[in-house]
């Protein structure tokens, strides 16, 4: 593989032991990927700060011992603790201590402690065409698709190696020619009222993710005014049910002004027509149990934006949750401060809403219920909750979640999918 003089100096240990280790790992992985060279990146987002076990902590300790420091602006994904509200943590003292040490280790390397899976709605907004190295599946797909930045799917350990060296393998979605659409999804006969509903987007994303394999999907038929939170939900669901790291929406996302642009002038490998019936059928795949009693409502995967809280806040004033239902919303610290400033936070707490920052209910023990059913409007929560926290899951719209939380059992908006 072709290395620059600077690359070789890092590999030789001229910039310290940690940088040498990071470059050695990066070069090895680049060769595995088949890359011929490395490229400069402008930012990184780290998933390795989430505690999964001793190996991750050992790796971070080794980097710190070698004097590791990031060389590009770098944000941190969720950790395993809400550092502002440690009382939320339901795990063992040992796991909590290790999780905190890991989070502090990455912060000591110079990473920005935003602790969010949605850095694109906080401080990191890379411009169109910017080369970055991001981890965390929904952050990757949002950066590629909605912002038009360029990153491959990076995971633990590789992410921080890229942040330390400022380099990434020149392959995959970093390269223009690999970003062309491959599968066309044509939306047919879906009423405009339904296209405006937020709940459509995780369902559509989950369906597309499950059918696309490793191909890049192009969606034709969404409205030009499709908003950022809707695209966020679509991408997160597609990255959960499948391997979607980039999607194009004709007339909406920056690399898809036209259908021809989305495919870079090529013909789609496959064309799939989707209607309301396909979406309604997909709803069954987002729930693991019939409608009935619920113990938990969980929102905020990806982390809730202030615009999403505004919708929730209006509904909660009319439909506060039942005392027997845990109602949890995950977000980042910047949104948390905005809730304080608007005087919404205290009112949400008074209504029985638990606002969690820095982490997420499916990656760490926060939910008190040990069995039963969790209801959510998140395709990502719906996908991971049964396996990660052992609860059955029911999927619904925000209104359905709020009304169900008030009643303690699933309530359905019967006209929702008939618009």
Instruction: Report how far Cα 146 is from the mean position of its chain's Cα atoms.
Output: 13
With contact defined as beta carbons under 8 Å apart, do 77 and 302 qualify?
no
Per-residue pLDDT, 124 = 80
Record the pTM.
0.97
Q: Give me the residues paired with residue 76 across strands.
A: 46
| Torsion of the alpha carbons at 312, 315, 320 and 325, rounded to the nearest 10 | -50
The CA-CA-CA angle for residues 407, 413, 418, to 5°, reads 170
Among the listed residues 164, 168, 160, the one whose alpha carbon sits nearest the alpha carbon of residue 15:
164
Per-residue pLDDT, 228 = 97
Q: Give me the residues paired with residue 272 across strands.
A: 185
Task: Please list, in sequence order, all residues whose beta carbon lies within 8 angstroms of the beta carbon of residue 160, skipping any fewer than 6 positions away.
Answer: 22, 44, 46, 48, 60, 63, 68, 70, 106, 109
Helix ranges (H only) for 147-275 are 158-165, 192-195, 200-212, 228-241, 259-262
Phi-psi region of 277 (alpha: psi -120 to 50; beta: other; left: phi over 0): alpha
Instruction: Report how far Cα 50 is from the mean position of its chain's Cα atoms.
Output: 14
Tell me which residues of the chain have a pLDDT lower than 70.
none
Per-residue pLDDT, 115 = 98
Distance, CA of 116 to CA of 49 (rounded, Å): 11
Task: Please list, in sequence order, all residues whose beta carbon lies within 8 angstroms of the beta carbon of residue 298, skipping any fewer than 6 positions away.
Answer: 328, 329, 330, 361, 362, 367, 374, 375, 376, 378, 381, 385
Phi-psi region of 408 (alpha: psi -120 to 50; beta: other; left: phi over 0): left
Distance, CA of 89 to CA of 84 (rounded, Å): 11
Q: Is 296 helix (H, G, I), strand (E, B) or coil?
A: strand
Distance, CA of 229 to CA of 198 (rounded, Å): 8
Q: Could you tell me the two tokens for 146?
A: 């909605």
Sign of the C-alpha dihedral, residues 381, 384, 386, 390? Answer: negative
| Torsion of the alpha carbons at 272, 208, 403 and 365, rounded to the nearest 10 | 170
Per-residue pLDDT, 123 = 82
Among the listed residues 374, 404, 398, the one whose alpha carbon sits nearest the alpha carbon of residue 386:
374
Q: Could you tell me the two tokens for 110?
A: 């110079």
Q: Give me the residues paired with residue 141 across strands.
A: none
Per-residue pLDDT, 418 = 86
With contact defined as beta carbons under 8 Å apart, do 239 and 137 qualify?
yes
Cis previous bond, 302, omega within 30: yes
């Amino acid at each position: 593989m072709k290395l620059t003089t600077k690359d070789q100096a890092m590999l030789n240990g001229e910039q310290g032991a940690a940088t040498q280790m990071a470059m050695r790992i990066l070069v090895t992985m680049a060769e595995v990927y088949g890359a011929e060279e490395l490229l400069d990146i402008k930012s990184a987002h780290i998933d390795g700060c989430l505690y999964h076990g001793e190996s991750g902590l050992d790796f971070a300790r080794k980097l710190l011992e070698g004097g590791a420091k990031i060389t590009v602006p770098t944000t941190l994904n969720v950790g395993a603790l809400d550092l502002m509200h440690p009382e939320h943590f339901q795990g063992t003292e040992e796991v909590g201590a290790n999780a905190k040490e890991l989070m502090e280790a990455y912060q000591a390397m110079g990473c920005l402690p935003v602790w969010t899976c949605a850095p694109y709605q906080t401080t990191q907004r890379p411009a169109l065409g910017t080369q970055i190295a991001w981890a965390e599946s929904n952050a990757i797909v949002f950066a590629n698709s909605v912002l038009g930045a360029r990153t491959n799917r990076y995971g633990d350990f590789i992410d921080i190696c890229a942040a330390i060296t400022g380099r990434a393998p020149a392959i995959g979605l970093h390269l223009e020619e690999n970003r062309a659409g491959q599968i066309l999804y044509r939306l047919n006969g879906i009423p405009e009222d339904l296209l405006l509903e937020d709940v459509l987007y995780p369902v559509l994303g989950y369906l597309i993710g499950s059918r696309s394999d490793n191909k890049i999907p192009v969606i034709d038929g969404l409205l030009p005014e499709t908003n950022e939170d809707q695209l966020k939900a679509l991408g997160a669901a597609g990255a959960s049910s499948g391997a979607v790291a980039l999607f194009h929406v004709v007339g909406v996302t920056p690399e898809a002004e036209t259908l021809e642009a989305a495919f870079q002038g090529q013909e789609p490998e496959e064309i799939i027509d989707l209607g309301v019936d396909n979406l309604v059928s997909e709803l069954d795949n987002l729930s693991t149990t019939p409608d009935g009693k619920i113990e938990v409502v969980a929102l905020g995967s990806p982390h809730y934006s202030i615009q999403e809280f505004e919708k929730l806040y209006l509904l909660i004033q009319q439909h506060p949750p039942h005392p027997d239902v845990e109602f949890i919303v995950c977000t980042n610290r910047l949104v948390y401060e905005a809730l304080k400033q608007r005087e919404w936070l205290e009112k949400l707490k008074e209504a029985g809403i638990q606002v969690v920052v820095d982490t997420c209910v499916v990656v760490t023990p926060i939910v008190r219920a040990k069995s039963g059913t969790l209801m959510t409007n998140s395709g990502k929560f719906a996908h991971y909750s049964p396996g990660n926290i052992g609860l059955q899951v029911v999927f619904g719209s925000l209104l359905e979640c709020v009304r169900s939380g008030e009643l303690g059992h699933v309530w359905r908006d019967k006209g929702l999918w008939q618009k």
